[in-house]
Structures are given as structure tokens and as C-alpha cells.
Amino acid sequence: MAFLLFLVSMVSTAGCESVITENACLSEEHVEASDVPASEKKYESSKQNKSIEEMMREIEKKRLPSSVALDVEPIYQEPELPTGCEAVSLTMLLAYEGFDLEKMTIAEEYLVYSKNWDLDEGYVGNPTTYEGAGCFPPTIVQTAKKYLTAQKSSLEAVDLTGKSMEELLHYVADGHPVAVWTSMYMEPPILTEQEESTFPWYDTEHCVVLSGYDLEEDILIVQDPLMGTIDRKQEEFTEIYDFIGQYAVVLL
């Protein structure tokens, strides 16, 4: 999609995401806390007396298997969340961990919103419309924290921004799918900075879940909220991931 000038009275289309002038927030009511999912319990003993930093170091130094495929169920953002790929990707991570939630739960009840056009601070716009801009990892970390706290879960959302693709594969190999920022349909992202905005933005912004890989075939397995399960060439996917800024989030 072509860009429009970022004006107070106009929108800025960004492929999967576009900016609106009114920051229409959805309800932030919490649901009742549920029991800890069975799939989470297997991590409890390994997390005892260990900091997140220690866990990350251990994960990243493990030997990387040649191929891994995690059983992550794809969730499609359309038609309810045309610009809600980030919320849907987080939903896939949570569902993989055993949480029983609907596609709209995160967007309607937990998604953090920005009042200052800052995508690190919160979602800009409304993900239920085509005029939503989206958000970056700090927003998804805070959104996940709200949900996990309500569920009385010991899991934590961790911002992996700045990690190389090889480092991300270590998390997948350890059983942790990763939300990754990329571009829609692997189209070239074009970064831009609008005078009135507080953030750099790029066309075709998108968020997907990295759920597996095959090093010999140079393939990454991706759960795309727009396309479902799809294989991507690792070199091509990594090039876009690096160009955008190496944005990623994982649950540990």
C-alpha cells in the first residue's frame, strides 16, 4: 500500500497497519484468572532460583538441532482484526503454552494503547479497523504481562529485540515459539519518519510467529496471521528481520 502524509486529519497506510487520528481503545476489562495450564508446569522447576537472564544464557549456549517444528496452531487475524497481527501473534504464543483464550481476548481486554503516537508505549489506532498503526515489542511485553498476571502465571514475556536470527532459533529449539516483526508477504519494508510522529515507521509492517526451522533446507516455519503456516527462506526472512530492527518477543 502507498504511504499518505502523516497529518492529524489523515491516515498513514502501512500495509498490514495504518495510522488513524483517533486512538479508539477497546475495553480493558479483565477475565477471571484461570488455573495454571498443564503445559506451563513443565517449566516451573527449571525456573526456580533462576533469573530470566540466566535462562536466556542457558538457552542460547545449547547446541542447535538441525531442524525443529513446534506444534503452534495458526490463528488468522482477519476478518475481526485486520491490523491486529501483533495481538494475534501473542495469542498464538499464549495458546501454545496452554492458555484457553479466544482470538479477540487480547485485543479487546488486555492490549495496551498509546496516547502519544509511540508504538513502544502502546498500540496506535484500533486493530479492529484498517486504520490501525500497530505496535512494537515493548507494547506486546506489557500486554502479555497484563494477561499473565491476571492468569496468575509464572511465565514472563521477554523482549528479544537485537537478537540475531540464529539466537532466536535457539529459543525455538528449546520449545519456545517467538513473535517476530517482519513485513507483509515478504515485501521490501520502506522506513519513514513523519514530522508529526514520535516513531520511525515502515510500509507493510507485520508480526508473525517463528515456530520451527530446517537448517539443511534453509527454511523457517512461520505462523502468519494473514497466511497461516508457511515456509520462508531463512536468508530472505532474516534480511527483512535485520533491516527492520530485529524485533522479537518470547514467553519464558
In 136-204, beta strands by DSSP E: 157-159, 178-183, 191-193, 200-202
The answer on pLDDT for 236 being more than 70 is: yes
Please report, for the chain, the start and end positions of each structural domain, with discontinuous segments joined by +: 12-31+52-251
CA distances from 77 to 16, 29, 74, 80, 90 (A): 10, 21, 10, 6, 11
Among residues 69, 89, 93, the alpha carbon closest in space to that of 212 is found at: 69
Q: What is the pLDDT of residues 11-67, one digit of tens each?
A: 333 444 443 333 334 433 333 333 445 444 444 545 656 899 999 999 999 999 999
Distances (CA, A) of 110 to 192, 204, 238: 29, 24, 30
The listed CATH number (3.20.20.370, 3.90.70.10, 3.90.1150.30, 1.10.357.10) that belongs to domain 12-31+52-251: 3.90.70.10
Q: Which whole number is the average pLDDT over 124-150?
A: 96
Q: Residue 197's pLDDT is what?
A: 54
Q: List the one residue out of 97, 130, 90, 94 whose CA is nearest residue 111.
A: 90
Encode pLDDT of 172-192 as tens digits. 999 999 999 999 999 988 776
Confidence of residue 116 (pLDDT cuts 50, 70, 90): confident
Contact 181, 136 (CB under 8 A): yes
Quick: pLDDT tens for 200-222: 667 789 999 999 999 999 999 99
